[in-house]
Amino acid sequence: MPVRLCTADSNFETEFATFLGAKRESAADVTEDALRIIDDVRLRGDAAVIAYAERFDDQRLTPNSLRVPEAEILAAAEKAPAAAREALTVAAQRIDEFHIQQMPADLELGGSDGVGLGYRWSPITSVGLYIPGGLAAYPSTVLMTAIPAGVAGVDRIAMATVSPDDELHPMVAAAAQLSGVTEIYRVGGAHAVAALALGTDSIPAVDKIVGPGNAYVTAAKRLLFGSVGIDMVAGPSEILVVADRENDPAWVAADLLSQAEHDTNAQAILMTDDSAFAGRVEGAIADHLAGLERAPIASAAWKDYGAIILLDDLSEAPPLIDRIAPEHLELAVAKPESVSKEVRHAGAIFLGRYTPEAVGDYIAGPSHVLPTARSARFSSGLSVLDFMKRTSLVRCDASGLRMVGPAAAELAESEGFGAHALSLNIRLRDDGNSES
């Protein structure tokens, strides 16, 4: 059964700390397995990728069939139902419009004192999108990763995804088509991440890998960071719903299950100040589960990792929210905006009773790739900035160097770096006539 905590209990702090520290990954640590796969792909390239594809996903591939031909992408996209394609188009437009507003501006600061400063933004050259495809298809993740990359100006966007029978899922193909992605590889898992990071004869390396995945994918991304950039180390999905008694318990129950159905390791938390309301939500969850296709997954997640936190008063919520730092936070309360202003740590906040988290998963606009496992304490959801980098700009003329150079030389000498000091002092002795 879900954990039940109450702030009025004398042992609440101890139980809450235990709850926060609980591990949700059911599998044993897969780091060593992921490392062996990476080393093998580094050594054998395509041959290793093909071998792991057969071992883990029962695929029969060759170097020539690793990449999905553009004609196959187009043919698969045409099989997508018309209504679903139209919905994807609406989502793509909203995501594009939102991310255009995130584009950062370059900065150039004066220089009246002879020292000019600034920075310039530029896109990453190549990016790999990891799109899960084992238990379900995720065309929404294609949009949520590819569109921000395209807005940023990334030159090359490659995608790795695996699907049953090696046939590209029509909705994934349609999403790729809408996003302008034509480079798709039909592989998944840690071997796909390693191939994108290290490069093989058939899969050229990228500069950064983004997108969610299972424990093996996450471990591979963590191990390869440095050789390649990554967006985040993501874990199972999670949602925290803060709700008062004025809510329809069936609505709140559906919201909790919307994340629980992702994975048996997902986590759904209800925080409320009304014990009777919490009981009604539990009853509604049981009712919903009776009719959900993914009920076995959602039921296991709710039973093993779900939680109900009873508050004396809703004013207790913000500091507890910050300690949980949830991936998704719903504020189904009378004044959600005022509560949200007290929250510092959450991947995304959904304000009010008519804003279910699911609207953010598909169509609102911000990317649904968000920090999990309390990492919202120090990181943000995927954005245009994840596909760009900032380069500092510094320019001194002779007078500017004479102003700041002596202090820089003094600091260099204090650290024992004589060549640093020399590169400054040799210019400070110049009369400025040689300046270009």
> Is a pLDDT exceeding 50 seen at residue 436?
no
DSSP string computed for 46-65 = HHHHHHHHHHHH-----GGG
Domain ranges within the chain, ordered by starting residue: 3-23+235-382, 31-105+124-234
| CATH classification for the domain delimited by 31-105+124-234, as one of 3.40.50.300, 3.30.70.2190, 3.40.50.1980, 3.40.50.150 | 3.40.50.1980
> Is a pLDDT exceeding 50 seen at residue 176?
yes
Q: Is the dihedral of CA 401, 406, 407, 412 positive or negative?
A: positive
Q: What is the mean pLDDT of residues 231-247?
A: 95
The pLDDT of residue 28 is 54
Q: State the catalytic residue, choosing from 328, 330, 345, 357.
A: 328
Same fold across 3-23+235-382 and 31-105+124-234 = yes
Tell whether pTM > 0.75: yes
Q: What is the mean pLDDT of residues 358-368?
A: 97
> Is a pLDDT exceeding 60 seen at residue 27?
no
Output phi, psi for 355, to 5 deg: -125, 75
Confidence of residue 395 (pLDDT cuts 50, 70, 90): very high
Q: Are strands 3-6 and 307-310 parallel, antiparallel or unpaired?
A: parallel
Confidence of residue 421 (pLDDT cuts 50, 70, 90): very high
Q: What is the Cα–Cα distance from 331 to 355, expressed in whole angstroms? A: 9
Q: State the catalytic residue, choosing from 183, 238, 261, 327.
A: 327
Q: Are strands 307-310 and 328-332 parallel, antiparallel or unpaired?
A: unpaired
Confidence of residue 110 (pLDDT cuts 50, 70, 90): confident
What fold does the segment set 3-23+235-382 form as a domain? Rossmann fold (3.40.50)
On whether the CB atoms of residues 153 and 126 are closer than 8 A, the answer is no
Q: What is the mean pLDDT of residues 150-179?
A: 94
On whether the CB atoms of residues 271 and 255 are closer than 8 A, the answer is no
Residues 295-344: tens digit of each pLDDT = 999 999 999 999 999 999 999 999 999 999 999 999 999 999 999 999 99
The pLDDT of residue 125 is 98
On whether the CB atoms of residues 270 and 307 are closer than 8 A, the answer is yes
> Is a pLDDT exceeding 50 seen at residue 131?
yes
Which pair of structure tokens corresponds to residue 267? 């986590």
Mean pLDDT of the chain: 95
Residue 328 annotated among the catalytic residues of the structure: yes
The pLDDT of residue 138 is 92
Buried residues in 198-219 as b, exposed as e (16+ CB within 10 A): bbbebbeebbbbbbbbbbbbbb
The pLDDT of residue 235 is 87
Q: What is the Cα–Cα distance from 329 to 324, expressed in whole angstroms? A: 10
> Is a pLDDT exceeding 70 seen at residue 169?
yes
Q: Are strands 115-123 and 183-185 parallel, antiparallel or unpaired?
A: unpaired
Q: What is the mean pLDDT of residues 172-179?
A: 97
